[in-house]
């Protein structure tokens, strides 16, 4: 099981789903997606932060 959530600003703060200390290495000028993955064997959730794929490709 996996689901994704966008990370975005609300005024001067970030969306509260992800605690700010988990984003310490994220560049605040870029957009990110939080990916939550559930491992059914261990019963644990894992969090991965990925750069948001805007779907734009480089023009050639």
- pTM attached to this predicted model: 0.55
pLDDT computed for residue 42 by the predictor: 93
Residue 28 — very low, low, confident or very high, per pLDDT cuts 50/70/90?
confident
Residue 53 — very low, low, confident or very high, per pLDDT cuts 50/70/90?
confident
Task: Please indicate whether residue 17 or residue 31 has the higher confidence score (pLDDT).
Answer: 31
- What distance in Å separates the CA atoms of residue 34 and residue 56, rounded to the nearest whole number? 20
Task: Please indicate whether residue 33 or residue 58 has the higher confidence score (pLDDT).
Answer: 33
Q: What is the residue-wise DSSP string for 1-60?
A: -EEEEEE-EETTEE-TTS-GGGGTTS-TTS-EEEEEEEETTTTEEEEEEEE---------
- What distance in Å separates the CA atoms of residue 2 and residue 13, rounded to the nearest whole number? 26
CB atoms within 10 A of CB 7: 19
pLDDT computed for residue 43 by the predictor: 92
């Amino acid at each position: 099981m996996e689901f994704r959530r966008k990370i975005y600003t609300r005024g001067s703060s970030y969306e509260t789903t992800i605690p700010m200390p988990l984003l310490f290495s994220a560049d605040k000028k870029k957009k990110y997606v939080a990916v939550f993955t559930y491992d059914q064997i261990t019963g644990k959730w894992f969090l991965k932060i990925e750069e948001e794929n805007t779907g734009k490709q480089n023009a050639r």
